[in-house]
Amino acid sequence: MNLEKLSINTATFKNLSLRHVVDLCVKNNIKAIGPWRDKIHEVGLKEASRIINASGLQVSGLCRGGFFVADNNHNWDDNKIAIEEAAELNAGCLVIVSGGMLANNKNLSQTHNYIADGLAKMTELGNEMGVPIALEPLHPMYAADRCSINSLKHAIDICEQIGEGIGVAIDAYHVWWDPDVDAQIKRAGELGKIYGYHVCDWLAPTTDMLLDRGLMGDGVIDLKSMTQKIESTGHNGFTEVEIFSKKLWQLPPDEMMEKVIERFKNEV
Amino acid sequence: MNLEKLSINTATFKNLSLRHVVDLCVKNNIKAIGPWRDKIHEVGLKEASRIINASGLQVSGLCRGGFFVADNNHNWDDNKIAIEEAAELNAGCLVIVSGGMLANNKNLSQTHNYIADGLAKMTELGNEMGVPIALEPLHPMYAADRCSINSLKHAIDICEQIGEGIGVAIDAYHVWWDPDVDAQIKRAGELGKIYGYHVCDWLAPTTDMLLDRGLMGDGVIDLKSMTQKIESTGHNGFTEVEIFSKKLWQLPPDEMMEKVIERFKNEV
Which of A69, A105, A108 should one mutate to test binding to chain B, selecting the residue with the greatest count of B CBs within 10 A?
A: A108
- Along the 268 residues of chain B, how does pLDDT read in single tens digits? 899 999 999 999 999 999 999 999 999 999 999 999 999 999 999 999 999 999 999 999 999 999 999 999 999 999 999 999 999 999 999 999 999 999 999 999 999 999 999 999 999 999 999 999 999 999 999 999 999 999 999 999 999 999 999 999 999 999 999 999 999 999 999 999 999 999 999 999 999 999 999 999 999 999 999 999 999 999 999 999 999 999 999 999 999 999 999 999 999 9
Task: State the pLDDT confidence band at A129, using cuts at 50, 70 and 90.
Answer: very high
Which amino acid is residue A29, in one-letter code? N
Which chain A residues have a beta carbon less than 8 Å from that of B179? 108-109, 112, 151, 154
The ipTM assigned to this model is 0.97
Rounded to an integer, the average pLDDT of A1-13 is 96
Which chain B residues have a beta carbon less than 8 Å from that of A107? 222, 225
Q: Across-strand partners of B47?
A: none
Rounded to an integer, the average pLDDT of A78-86 is 98
B6, B5, B90: which is closest to B40 by C-alpha?
B90
C-alpha distance from A207 to closest chain B C-alpha (Å): 8
Name the residue among B143, B148, B204 with its Cβ closest to that of A144: B204
Which chain B residues have a beta carbon less than 8 Å from that of A217? none
pTM above 0.90, yes or no: yes
At residue A1, the pLDDT reads 87
Chain B residues contacting A via beta carbons under 8 Å: 100-101, 106-109, 112, 139-141, 143-145, 148, 150-151, 154, 176-179, 202, 204-206, 209, 219-222, 225
Name the residue among A108, A176, A219 with its Cβ closest to that of B179: A108
Q: What is the 3-state secondary structure (H, E, C) of chain B?
A: CCHHHEEEEHHHHCCCCHHHHHHHHHHCCCCEEECEHHHHHHHCHHHHHHHHHHHCCEECCEEEEECHHHCCCCCHHHHHHHHHHHHHCCCCCEEEECECCCCCCCCHHHHHHHHHHHHHHHHHHHHHHCCCEEECCCCHHHCCCCECCCCHHHHHHHHHHHCCCEEEEEEHHHHCCCCCHHHHHHHHHHCCCEEEEEECECCCCCCCCCCECECCCCCCCCHHHHHHHHHCCCCCCCEEECCCECCHHHCCHHHHHHHHHHHHHHHC
Name the residue among B145, B204, B205 with its Cβ closest to that of A204: B145
Rounded to an integer, the average pLDDT of A205-226 is 97
Q: Across-strand partners of A6?
A: A239
Give the whole-angstrom CA distance, residue A6 versus residue A21: 14
